[in-house]
Amino acid sequence: MQPLRFMTGLLALLLATSSSLFAATPADLGQLDIPRYAPDRVLVKFRPGTAAAEISAEHRNAHAVPLRSLPEIDVQVMQVPVGMVEDSIAVYRRNPNVLYAEPDYYRLLVMPREEPGPTPAGGANYFAEQWYLDNTGQNHTFVNQTIFGAFLDVTSGTPNADINAPQAWDLRRGQVGDPTSYDRPKIAVLDSGADCNVPDLRGKCLEQVDVVGAKANDTCPAGEPACDNYGHGTFVAGEAVANTDNAEGVAGVGWHTGAGIFKVCYLELVTDGFFLYEVGLCPVSGSSEAILRASTDQSVNGNLVRSQYQVITMSYASDLIDSAGNITQTDASSAECEAIALARDRGVLVVAAAGNNGDTSRTYPAACTDDQGRSTVISVAAADHEDDRVSFSTYSRSTDHWVSLAAPGQDIIGILPSANCNLAADNDSCVDWWSGTSMAAPLVAGAAALVWDDLYARLPAGTSRAAATCSYAGMPCNQAVRLRLEQNAAKVGANAQNLLSWTANGRLDLAAALRNDVTTGGGTAPVAAFRYDCIGLACNFTASGSGAGTLSYRWVWGDGTADGSGSNPSHTYPATGSYTVTQTATDSNGSTSVSTTLNLKAGKRSVSGSVSSDSGGSGGSGGVCTHPKGKC
């Protein structure tokens, strides 16, 4: 390994105006004017079946012009005059056919506080610095914050306060990335982009996708559409998939696993009146688009160029620092949570940082749920080298255990873009020590990829490996992977702490998740239930099942078309006739199915009813004519 070079200050940059440029940290943000949402964009969703003429008229009333759409969730991204976001939303919300209208909220990336960087203790032994992978109580570097400034120092933790990575790698090391393969788990990293030319990411980036576009302070060169001008995304990607055992840089949890780089956040400059500061802004329109793209096969001219990702990781959150320096939460985005729910229903496992609020307030997208209130995200809190909760980490209590797992998130060593160390060539590694739940989430994502690889190895030959259709132990594969991570997490810390006092499932233990299969049974199978409402041949279905933990649904329509998923699907039948529709509800205890027969007739006749595996259902209302002239 070559000698390491470090940044010698916050950033070795000065603007022509002589105003210094700094990376904003939580301590600075109370003085900065950071907007909650884009000043000229709104997201709007109309009720299905709303006439195109009515939609166009409502856009005119709101002074809104279409920018783009998110067709998978029927959301339109609209441009409005600067400063008129709230007025335009008020116009939309007066229309009963508008399901929701919301600002294009910004999720926030906050640069952890950097420090002058002398050569770390241990010299070139970077794996020894990664205490969170294998904690033997060894000395490691940490950032010592004092009233005189921050500097690197040496400390040690408690043995076994780690994720047991070496023991896990003896079992699974993942698969070399292949964009089109369905049986090689891969991770979509949604962040500020990544420097895919650094040694630790060379050959690991399966694709680079930009969903936010060029900005005044964040442009990318040709051939690098998802470059990283901020550094956060490179750090996160390296934790998950850095080249491992290559005598260079750091080890990534996913070992051989590849990653897709989605640039959903961009660098912006804000001021306190004298200094300029860097922050990362992540509009939910871009976040939602990236989630939908990552969870969908991508084809060009009918040829598959990239299959869907098995894992999505997001290390940005809705933290908002007000003028008094208090951290508050912004609202959930209906579009973002809907995109995540659809990704879950398509078989993808979504991981997100829980936030750095230091309290139990929900942050998004980590706290997203589906329309039945079930978690759709593995939310990750931050633990330290003693297995204690880091003081800044958001957490949860038993009364509202929305934070699923903890993973190490303090004094994490990671890679940065070469430019951050003023390296002219990409033949050296630029590293730093950062803290945050942003650092904890990619450890879980890398672990999920290895568990998924192990799950594929257990499936019988010929069984579907595509995330959207993969099934294991009577449940979708993404649910099986989530359960293996949660069920096998450490419940007791290295110092005998109760890790369930601040997370729902404990601290990530990758080796245990690979050694132990998912546990099913021992409890009551879920109740499968749903309501149906049809007019003519068009039917809407609403799941109302119950069970343990997160339920997922599969639907067989009875007309020979592809199965459906989700809790509120719609389906249009091809012709008048009788169709048997079957819902299968799955939770950690197994699966239950329930069926009913729909007698449909083209026209305006309505048919509705409900059915449950518990009671056999209430039948249906038969045929009720809704045509204004009775012509059904």
194 CB-contact burial (10 Å; exposed 0-12 / middle 13-18 / buried 19+): buried
Sheet-wide strand order for 577-587: 564-565, 552-556, 577-587, 590-600
In angstroms, rounded to a whole number, what is the distance separating the alpha carbons of residues 606 and 248?
66
Map residue 510 onto helix, strand or coil. Answer: helix
CA distances from 67 to 38, 42, 378, 430 (A): 13, 10, 31, 38
In angstroms, rounded to a whole number, what is the distance separating the alpha carbons of residues 472 and 489?
20
In angstroms, rounded to a whole number, what is the distance separating the alpha carbons of residues 416 and 230?
9
Closest CA to 468 of 240, 295, 602: 295
Check: CB of residue 236 under 8 Å from CB of residue 262: no
Specify which residues 413 forms β-bridges with: 433
Closest CA to 241 of 302, 149, 176: 176
In angstroms, rounded to a whole number, what is the distance separating the alpha carbons of residues 19 and 273?
10
Map residue 546 onto helix, strand or coil. Answer: strand
In angstroms, rounded to a whole number, what is the distance separating the alpha carbons of residues 182 and 184?
6
Q: Count CB atoms within 10 A of the CB of residue 424.
A: 8
Location of structure tokens 């979708």: 476
CA distances from 65 to 48, 58, 108 (A): 20, 11, 26
**Mind giving me the DSSP string for 359-391?**
SS---TTTT-B-TTS-B-SEEEEEE-TTSPBPT
- The packing angle between helices 85-93 and 52-61, to 10°, is 140
In angstroms, rounded to a whole number, what is the distance separating the alpha carbons of residues 33 and 351?
29
149 DSSP assignment: E
CA distances from 511 to 14, 30, 241, 256 (A): 47, 41, 17, 17
In angstroms, rounded to a whole number, what is the distance separating the alpha carbons of residues 526 and 614?
9
Reported as type and span, the H/E element at residue 234 is helix 232-241
71 DSSP assignment: G
CA 240 from centre of chain: 14
Where in the sequence numbering do the catalytic residues fall? Answer: 191, 232, 438
Q: State both tokens at 185.
A: 């788990």
In angstroms, rounded to a whole number, what is the distance separating the alpha carbons of residues 163 and 410?
14
Map residue 487 onto helix, strand or coil. Answer: helix
Q: Count CB atoms within 10 A of the CB of residue 182.
A: 19
Q: Which residues contact 73 (CB under 8 A, 6 or more apart)?
A: 45, 288, 292, 335, 338, 339, 342
**Mind giving me the DSSP string for 548-594?**
SS--EEEEE-SSSSPPEESSS-EEE-SSSEEEEEEEEEEETTEEEEE
